[in-house]
Structure 1
Amino acid sequence: MIDSTWNAEFTRHFDRSADSMRFTAYLLCGNWHEAEDVVQAAFLKLYLAGPKLADREGLAAYTRKIVVRTFLAERRRLRWRREKLTDAPPEMPGGGEQVEDRLVVWQAMSVLGARQRAVLVLRFWHDLGVEETASALGCSTGTVKSQSARGLATLRQRLGPQYADLWQEVSRRG
């Protein structure tokens, strides 16, 4: 049975993190509707697991882990389902030249597999370390490193030399 203390704690956590989790799911899915489905499923899983959680201090990291794993499970379940390219770029916050670069990178990321995209989103969007990313994905640090290297190599090839500055920045962070 779910108690009122957990209900209140869950509500506060949802209010604080729902927008961030939606955007993370959007980065993974490339589609706001699918992202909403992933986040809704993830928060339901969190709500049901909540009363059994010993460490409630790490709810944000745990929620992010559930979002990523829900996304990956959905991709495995529906392997036949592929992204559909559209003429309209994804909705991204911000403005100016940096937004254009982000849009180009985002479109290039659509060719990556779900696991590589998840690694890159966690490593470079959420700025997680290799160990934290491995924990979130339930894999080894070697897998994170190889998926990251392969994903970045694909993006380098797809985007070409005009994004050399971006790769220098990623190399410093990664």
Structure 2
Amino acid sequence: MSLIEGFTRTETLALTETTSNRLQYLEKKDLVVPQRFGKSRKPTVIYTWEQILEIRAIKHLRKEISLQAVRKIVQFLNESGFDDSLRDKQLVVIDDDVFWIRQDWQDFPEKMPSAMKIAGKSGKGVGQYVLLVIPTLTDIVNEVWEVAKTSEVIDFDNFRQRAKAQYTEIVSG
């Protein structure tokens, strides 16, 4: 008798903290298809370690996006020639858009990590690299100061004494 490597359905349910219905759905949609051994009516169902990680990755993504969007991401990755696994991808969800942060540190600092839009409600721009812009600290500080100046709740004179950073007027030249 040979040793079967992998995890039974029961073990997979425990390790992924998911439901039997979810596993069936993931298999039906070809997102995670386990191996089957033995009897055709009641086979032994085995999931690999990679599939366990994939199910967990999908579970985390589902907190932010629909399963339909997850399927679109996998389809896009597959059709674009990329590895379609999600377990090893750093994905960022912003509103209804999903970006894949691709970090190739071999060429750093000559080549910075890049972000590719891989899903979105409108479908526009999918497959294109984008620059995710995070405002500078100065911009954020200035925003807080501007809000404090116009707020009816904030005592501006008191705020000025307690603020940890000063307002910086940016002069465009």
| TM-score (ref. length: structure 2) | 0.27
Higher strand proportion (structure 1 or 2): 2
| TM-score (ref. length: structure 1) | 0.27
Larger Rg: 2
Asked which structure has the greater RCO (Cα within 8 Å, sep 6+), the reply is 1
